[in-house]
């Protein structure tokens, strides 16, 4: 006997079909998706020639081309008709207070009070291979010959556009979180300082650096996964202090690998060339067209092809021919993946250890010197002696871990979107310390840098006779220091045991040398909490801050028991390092670079606990004193591009040295072409490319294959001699 469906059963089926149709049609079904999410990305590469790079403070490290273009990547998470937060990850050494101020001004002009300093965080990945000159304080722009307007404008424009893209992409979606250990992408470069932390505290942790990566996966209601942001601690110093090519270093490489991995994974027709397996890109990162059965015929045609003389390139053509621009879908948001920085202060990607260049032996443990000289002690990356290979390996290790976390992310983010922000004058902040039931009030100090700052690190050694771990100073360098500013007794006592080399917080000519007013900020998306810190926290300093905030949040039932807290380092502005009190006593590089004295970390913990308590009690926070806007006081000594020229009978774009005729190449071979070029500072080719490699498809169709965004393509530019009007890449 046949049974017919009941009316309630039919209603349930119809309801299910209706929901499926609604989702396929793109109509929002808010009951299944808790947030509006939007992601955006934009080029911030900046000038690729003549400009000193930010990070190593090496005057000889001047940009001369592009290894990887730099990007600003942003996500926005909003509760419908309620709060929203913006997080921006920059392929830059650090955030800049002045850049942040100007971005916020533009956002206010465009959106009113929707995006302000309260709910916008701008964080740098800490690459040491990006153009400098974009910060507003003197000490950070000395080596770049002052302020560089091109660097600054590229950042402000790119950050704004990445946020605008994220805003325009806002759609219903969900967020998932996952975390896991990555063991081989960072080592402690100041282990003697770490060992000065209490043994009982160190015993709580398995490693002397944080090995955990935390990842957010963003899923659009219609399109599915649209991006991921992760936080992991390792320095952007795989590229050395002598590198002159613009690069996002290991984190920039990892981001490019993951974005290309996802685009290839979702592509209908892909090829496995360049992959170690079906899902992980290897040395190259691009969308490779299928070679097909006529591969050998194409090789024969290509081997006899002579490059024609160069033709005029326009920004429009450079954008249109870019590899990734050619494959993007107009109606679908591009996948955005960001590899963010956290408490990397004492974490190096040079995981093989530090060795003396003269003897090959390990450097001195306590001072990182070789025969008393810091200049000979260098960390070695996993691809040593090839810095590009080290960058690729550390980037790929982060990328592989991120892919695993991305694919396995199942814990859904749920809960409120909230934020708290305030400005604090760290030059004179009272801090209450609790000791054995009693309390003591101490103060932070005006900014100052110690002698060990000038010694540098194993990632980038300093010069002269400085060494890490110096808590005495030197009479000669004291005389040199006093020519600039002699610290008074109060400052000397406040900063003790740091011997002061530069009293930057009290140096005001021609304008401020160091910041005093700093922003601190908490962003909350459900059970995921981001602590925005304007500096580089060491491993243990970051752990203490996270634990302190976690203890406050755990007392609130709204958060539940499964709280995720990450530090976003180098965010909104930059104020160098933050060590623990115990690490400060050792005065290695990080301690000497902790600007506001031995109680700097305690000050951060005190003020972040206040923000956390205000967050859970729904209390407002006083905005605090505003930081200065020093744009109109900036001085620039970098000369502009006056004129470009070529030899008689040669035009811009002409090939100087072509690929040898009838030459074929196999995968892994290096191919070099030299052509006459104008200075890259004339046109930054934003969202474009300086160099493009094409594949021949058929007899006369050339398809873009590699550009400035690819790890395997390097655009190198130079003058025949320093003051020459003629320019050509070598």
How far is it, in rounded angstroms, from Cα 394 to Cα 690?
A: 26
Is 126 annotated to bind a ligand? Reply is yes
Q: Decide if 579 contacts 193 (C-beta within 8 A).
A: yes
Give the residue from 468, 490, 469, 466 showing the smallest Cα distance to 478: 466
| Active-site residue identified among 72, 214, 240, 348 | 348
Provide the token pair at 730.
């070598």
Is 337 known to be catalytic?
no
Say if residues 462 and 454 touch (Cβ distance below 8 Å). Answer: yes
Cis peptide bond prior to 304, omega within 30° of 0: no
- The Cα 216–Cα 89 span in angstroms is 13
**Helix or strand holding residue 433 (H, E):** strand 430-435
**Annotated binding-site residue? 574:** no
CA–CA separation, 91 vs 341, rounded Å?
10
Task: Please give the torsion angle defined by the CA atoms of residues 153, 98, 580 and 53, in that order, rounded to the nearest 10 degrees.
Answer: 30
Q: Helix 600-616 crosses helix 539-553 at what angle (to 10 degrees)?
A: 20
Phi/psi at 162 (nearest 5 deg)?
A: -65, -35
Alpha-helical runs (H) found in 564-688: 581-586, 589-592, 600-616
**Whole-angstrom Cα distance, residue 69 to residue 93?**
14
Q: What is the DSSP string of 346-362?
A: TEES-TTEEEETTT-SB
Residues pairing with 421 in the sheet: 521
Encode 41-100 in three state secondary structure.
EEECCCCCEEEEEECCCCCCCEEEEECCCCEEEEEEEECCCCCEEEEEEECCCCCCHHHH
Residue 577 counted as an annotated binding residue: yes
| Residues in Cβ contact with 720 at an 8 Å cutoff, skipping those fewer than 6 apart | 726, 727, 728
Residue 550, classed as helix, strand or coil, is helix
Residue where the block lists tokens 């709280």 = 563
Positions marked catalytic:
348
Q: Which residues does the annotation place in the binding site for Zn(2+)?
A: 126, 235, 536, 577
């Amino acid at each position: 006997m046949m049974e017919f469906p009941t009316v309630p059963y039919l209603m349930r089926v119809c309801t299910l079909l209706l929901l499926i149709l609604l989702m396929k049609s793109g109509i929002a079904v808010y009951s299944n998706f808790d947030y509006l999410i939007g992601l955006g990305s934009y080029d911030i590469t900046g000038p690729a020639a003549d400009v000193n790079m930010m990070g190593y403070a090496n005057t000889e490290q001047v940009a001369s081309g592009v290894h990887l273009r730099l990007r600003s990547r942003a996500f926005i998470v909003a509760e419908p008709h309620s709060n929203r937060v913006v997080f921006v990850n920059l392929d830059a050494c650090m955030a800049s207070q002045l850049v942040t101020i100007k971005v916020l001004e533009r956002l206010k002009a465009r959106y009113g009070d929707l995006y302000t300093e309260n709910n916008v965080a701008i964080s740098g990945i800490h690459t040491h291979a990006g153009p400098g000159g974009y910060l507003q304080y003197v000490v950070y722009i000395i080596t770049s010959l002052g302020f560089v307007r091109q660097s600054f404008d590229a950042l402000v424009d790119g950050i704004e556009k990445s946020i605008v893209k994220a805003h325009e992409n806002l759609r219903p979606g969900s967020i998932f979180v996952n975390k896991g250990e990555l063991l081989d992408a960072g080592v402690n470069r100041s282990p003697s300082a770490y060992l000065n932390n209490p043994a009982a505290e160190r015993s709580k942790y398995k490693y002397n650096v944080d090995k955990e990566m935390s990842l957010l996966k963003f899923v659009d209601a219609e399109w599915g996964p649209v991006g991921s942001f992760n936080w992991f601690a390792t320095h952007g110093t795989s590229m050395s202090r002598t590198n002159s090519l613009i690069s996002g270093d290991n984190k920039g490489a990892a981001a490019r690998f993951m974005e290309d991995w996802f685009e290839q994974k979702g592509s209908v027709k892909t090829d496995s060339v360049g992959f170690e397996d079906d899902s992980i890109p290897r040395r190259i990162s691009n969308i490779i067209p299928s070679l097909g059965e006529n591969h050998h015929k194409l090789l024969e045609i290509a081997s006899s092809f002579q490059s024609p003389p160069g033709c005029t390139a326009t920004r429009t053509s450079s954008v249109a021919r870019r590899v990734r621009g050619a494959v993007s879908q107009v109606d679908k948001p591009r996948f955005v993946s960001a590899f963010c920085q956290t408490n990397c202060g004492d974490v190096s990607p040079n995981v093989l250890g530090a060795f003396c260049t003269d003897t090959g032996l390990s450097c001195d443990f306590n001072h990182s010197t070789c025969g008393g000289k810091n200049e000979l002690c260098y960390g070695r990356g996993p691809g040593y002696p090839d810095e590009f290979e080290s960058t690729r390996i550390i980037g790929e290790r982060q990328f592989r871990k991120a892919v695993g976390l991305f694919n396995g992310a199942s814990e859904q983010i749920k809960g409120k979107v909230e934020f708290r922000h305030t400005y604090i004058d760290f030059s004179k902040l009272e801090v209450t310390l609790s000791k054995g039931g009693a309390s003591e009030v101490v103060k932070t100090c005006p900014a100052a840098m110690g002698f060990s700052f000038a010694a540098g690190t194993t990632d980038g050694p300093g010069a002269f006779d400085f060494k890490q771990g110096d808590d005495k100073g030197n009479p000669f360098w004291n005389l040199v220091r006093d020519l600039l500013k002699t610290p008074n007794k109060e400052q000397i006592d406040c900063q003790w045991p740091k011997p002061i080399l530069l009293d930057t917080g009290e140096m005001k000519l021609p304008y401020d040398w160091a910041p005093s007013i700093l922003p601190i900020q908490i962003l909350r998306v459900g059970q995921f909490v981001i602590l925005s810190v304007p500096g580089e926290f060491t491993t243990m300093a970051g752990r203490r801050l996270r634990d302190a905030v976690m203890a406050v949040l755990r007392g609130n039932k709204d958060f539940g028991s499964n709280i995720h807290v990450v530090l976003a380092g180098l965010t909104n502005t930059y104020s160098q390092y933050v060590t623990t009190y115990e690490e400060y006593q050792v005065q290695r590089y990080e301690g000497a670079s902790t600007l506001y004295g031995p109680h700097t970390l305690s000050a951060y913990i005190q003020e972040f606990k206040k923000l956390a308590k205000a967050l859970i009690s729904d209390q407002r926070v006083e905005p605090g004193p505003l930081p200065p806007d020093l744009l109109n006081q900036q001085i620039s000594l970098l000369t502009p591009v006056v004129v470009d020229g070529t030899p008689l009978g040669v035009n811009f774009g002409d090939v100087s040295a072509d690929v040898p005729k009838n030459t074929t190449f196999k995968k892994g071979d290096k191919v070099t072409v030299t052509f006459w070029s104008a200075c890259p500072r004339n046109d930054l080719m934003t969202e474009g490319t300086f160099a493009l490699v094409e594949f021949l498809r058929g007899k006369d169709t050339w398809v873009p294959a590699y550009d400035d965004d690819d790890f395997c393509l390097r655009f190198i530019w130079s003058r025949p001699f320093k003051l020459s009007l003629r320019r050509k890449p070598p």
